[in-house]
Structure 1
Amino acid sequence: MQIYKFGGASVKDAEGVRNVAHIITQHKDKEQQLIIVVSAMGKTTNLLENLTKAYYNQDEQTHLYFEQVKEFHQNILEELFEDRTDAIYNDVSNLFVEIDWILEEAPQDTYDYLYDQIVSIGELVSSRIIEAFLRKQQIDSLWLDARNYIHTDNTFREGNVDWEKTERGILSSIPSLVEKHVLVTQGFIGSTSENFTTTLGREGSDYTAAIFAACLNASLVTIWKDVPGVLNADPKWFDATELIPELSYLDAIELTYYGATVIHPKTIKPLQNKGIALAVRSFVDLKNTGTIIKSTNSTLPVSSFIFKVNQVLISILPKDFSFIVEDNFSHIFDVFAKHRLKINMMHNSAVSFSVSVDYDEQHIVSLVKELRKQYDVEFKRDLELVTIRYHNQQTIERVLVNKKVIMQLQDNYTCQMLIQSIA
């Protein structure tokens, strides 16, 4: 059994959907069991996020964003399905009705809950369209609702998987179904015990693929990307990048922990637990074998660079200039966890504790407000966090052109620098 995961870039238009069908036809052996996990199409998640924020704030742009989402998918449908009476048109329309029902009334629930109910529709629509097109191409496929299998707690926007219940649900029916069909399901989403939709965190479709693979003891997970594989730097930042043909689980976990976006951070551990290899391949260049992540003692062959933009430096100081002590740390970490902000980098001195986090206006405003009840808090925006794995002085100097270092941490293997552009 294999799991294929297709991200938003791979299905951003009708041609992308056709290419998915082509990949399945070219790469699936007759006897191979295959599960397809798909993300929302193109930039749908971004649009639905804008829609959710506008609705929550009762912004007049709400229905404009919704119309953009519907028009985008309608155009793809019309390119793929000439027969306007095809059932897929009705399936997609019914899914969008779920958003209509939410928008009919003023928001009564928390933002995170509303986010999951609205943004999850992107994956549901995408998977419906792709599965319908596979059937049209004479591929024996079957659509599954991932929410019937991926069970989480009630942490909306970052659902924690109930592994025992999830594995039990997956094993109850999927092994028999995948013997007969190519199964198509959604990444990113799950459900609570009360059947409310949850999401697994931004870009969580990789994690979904790993969950199915671990529960089913799949032989391989393949993530199809718009890059040749895992590169030593994001092409958006460096012109000259190098493909890493093989990665250990350890190095892959390190890279994702520090912010490498090619793989979701939670993806590796379930696969490593079961010894399941992960391939990262290009959906553009199908002859390229990409990167394989597996159990190996080899280390990264080249230095790797990870960039995280839109960073905020938050500095926390006791109001009376007393020392920062263990009790302070315990309280501070509790506050960050409460407001669901992941610390990317931290440094402490006798009288201050400084951290770098991704800028999230809603969560940071509430975090700072709570911290200021007990501490003096300063913060600086518009920073970049650069992490270099297997660094040397040349690689450090390479990223500091027209930049100044605000904070730096370094050990034998990893160098992290919070930097600011020099005007």
Structure 2
Amino acid sequence: MEHVSKAPLYLGQELYDIVSRVLAKSITDLPNNLTAVVSGFIGPVPGSLLKCIGRGYTDLTSALLAKGLQAKKLTIWKEVAGIYSADPTKVEDAKLLHEISPEEAAELTYYGAEVINPFTMRQVTQSGVSIQIRNVRDPTSQGTMIHNEASHSKCCTDESAVAVTLKEGISILNITSRLVTAPQLFFAEIFTLLNQHGVIVDLISTSRVNLSMAIPADHLSDALIRDLQKIGIVSRSDGLSILSLIGQAMRRRIGISAQMFTTLAATGVNIEMISQGASEINISCVISSENSLRALCAIHSSLLQPEI
């Protein structure tokens, strides 16, 4: 066993790097005539693995093993064909994506296409290992290849979005400053409280005196609201969903945001909040859950179907 510092590791990257090396050594030390069958189970760790990864730790174990062995590709067998351009149970003409970049896969899995945990995926793609998602019920299917970070440009030659996702069960919290503190202190106090209450924020939109956040509704509590009211004026909107258009090549396509919002307007869908990162890989907006399915199908038909 490798030396581990006495400082608590919790769930930091150092812990995962050590586990990766230990797993790999346990395999390479085996006689050549033996085939290793590795359980996905990971024992108790400081800080709780379930809180960080959830129950996808079998995938995490395989990812750490592939990383430690410096494999070229990790194949993960699922009960789905791979990653789609939209949820195939909601969009009839959703197409299987045969190749995507790790950045696109991370955005897709975080905002609704829950095929593989983004953290698990990052363990291998950053180490030069590609991931292929295959269907255990259809072994001949090509599945989806998530390229490693060194080769992902091969799968991003077009100038289009690759998928649209929907994340339901969202609420918006609006917090307006009472202007008694500097803006940076106002924001710092809010995020300190969110961390203390263990709240995950999906989207953020800010001005100098206002912070709007899209948050899973089941993460909100009366105690959090009371604490935030000590900092500023708080309002809440429920019954919402996050609609996200994702594609690494969108940054090279002029007018795609306008096309997305024009499509939503023509469909009669009102937008409650908009968020777009500087990388332009993800354009997200918050809409009413009543209109979410109609919006999802309209965006897929308008911006994705002709490209696939």
Smaller-chain TM-score bracket = 0.7 to 0.9
Q: Distance in 2 between matches of 1:182 and 1:210?
A: 15
Q: Which amino acid aligns with 1:369?
A: R
Q: Which amino acid aligns with 1:418?
A: V
Q: Distance in 1 between matches of 2:55 and 2:87?
A: 16
Cα separation, partners in 2 of 1:244 and 1:358, compared to 1, 3 Å: same
The equivalences for 1:74-153 within 5 A come to: none
SS for the counterpart of 1:185 is: coil
What's 2:16 paired with? 163
Q: Distance in 2 between matches of 1:348 and 1:310?
A: 22
CA contact (8 A) 1:223 1:278 kept: yes
Is 1:254 paired with 2:119? no
Shift of 1:288: 1.0
The equivalences for 1:384-423 within 5 A come to: 384-389=241-246, 390=250, 391=256, 395-396=260-261, 401=267, 403-410=269-276, 413-421=281-289
Q: Distance in 1 between matches of 2:31 and 2:108?
A: 33
Shift of 1:291: 1.3
SS for the counterpart of 2:66 is: helix
Q: Distance in 1 between matches of 2:191 and 2:224?
A: 11
SS for the counterpart of 2:125 is: helix
Shift of 1:241: 0.6
Cα separation, partners in 2 of 1:259 and 1:339, compared to 1, 3 Å: farther
Q: Give CA deviations for 1:189-225 in whole Å, capped at 9, x if unaligned.
A: 44236xx964242353333322222123233212222
Q: Distance in 2 between matches of 1:216 and 1:351?
A: 50
2:167 to 302, 305, 308: 308
CA contact (8 A) 1:343 1:355 kept: yes
Is 1:215 paired with 2:63? no
Cα separation, partners in 2 of 1:374 and 1:393, compared to 1, 3 Å: closer
Shift of 1:420: 0.6
SS for the counterpart of 1:250 is: helix
Cα separation, partners in 2 of 1:250 and 1:234, compared to 1, 3 Å: same
Q: Which amino acid aligns with 1:341?
A: V
What percentage of aligned pairs have identical amino acids? 25
Q: Which amino acid aligns with 2:226?
A: K
Q: Give CA deviations for 1:267-324 in whole Å, capped at 9, x if unaligned.
A: 2322122211100111222111111111221326653111110011111122x35576
2:199 to 305, 318, 341: 341
Greater Rg, structure 1 or structure 2?
1
Q: Which amino acid aligns with 1:404?
A: N
Is 1:291 paired with 2:144? yes
Q: Distance in 1 between matches of 2:102 and 2:145?
A: 10
The equivalences for 1:348-387 within 5 A come to: 348-361=206-219, 364-387=221-244
* Unmatched 5+ stretches in structure 2: 1-7, 251-255, 292-308
In the superposition, the TM-score normalised over structure 1's length comes to 0.55
SS for the counterpart of 2:37 is: strand
What's 1:279 paired with? 132
The equivalences for 1:319-330 within 5 A come to: 320-321=178-179, 325-330=183-188
What's 1:23 paired with? none
SS for the counterpart of 1:266 is: helix
Q: Give CA deviations for 1:72-116 in whole Å, capped at 9, x if unaligned.
A: xxxxxxxxxxxxxxxxxxxxxxxxxxxxxxxxxxxxxxxxxxxxx
CA contact (8 A) 1:190 1:197 kept: no
Q: Which amino acid aligns with 2:282?
A: T
Shift of 1:258: 3.8
* Unmatched 5+ stretches in structure 1: 1-152
Q: Distance in 2 between matches of 1:252 and 1:240?
A: 20
CA contact (8 A) 1:309 1:383 kept: yes
Shift of 1:413: 4.5
Tell me how many residue pairs correspond in the alignment: 264
SS for the counterpart of 2:199 is: coil
Q: Give CA deviations for 1:98-136 in whole Å, capped at 9, x if unaligned.
A: xxxxxxxxxxxxxxxxxxxxxxxxxxxxxxxxxxxxxxx
Cα separation, partners in 2 of 1:395 and 1:281, compared to 1, 3 Å: farther
Cα separation, partners in 2 of 1:183 and 1:197, compared to 1, 3 Å: farther
Cα separation, partners in 2 of 1:374 and 1:402, compared to 1, 3 Å: same
Shift of 1:360: 2.4
The equivalences for 1:165-204 within 5 A come to: 165-177=18-30, 179=32, 180-186=34-40, 189-192=42-45, 198-199=49-50, 200-204=52-56
SS for the counterpart of 1:237 is: coil
- Bigger relative contact order, structure 1 or 2 (CA pairs below 8 A, ≥6 apart): 2
SS for the counterpart of 1:174 is: helix
Q: Which amino acid aligns with 1:415?
A: I
Q: Distance in 1 between matches of 2:214 and 2:244?
A: 12
RMSD over aligned Cα atoms: 3.1
Q: Give CA deviations for 1:174-201 in whole Å, capped at 9, x if unaligned.
A: 33348523413125x44236xx964242
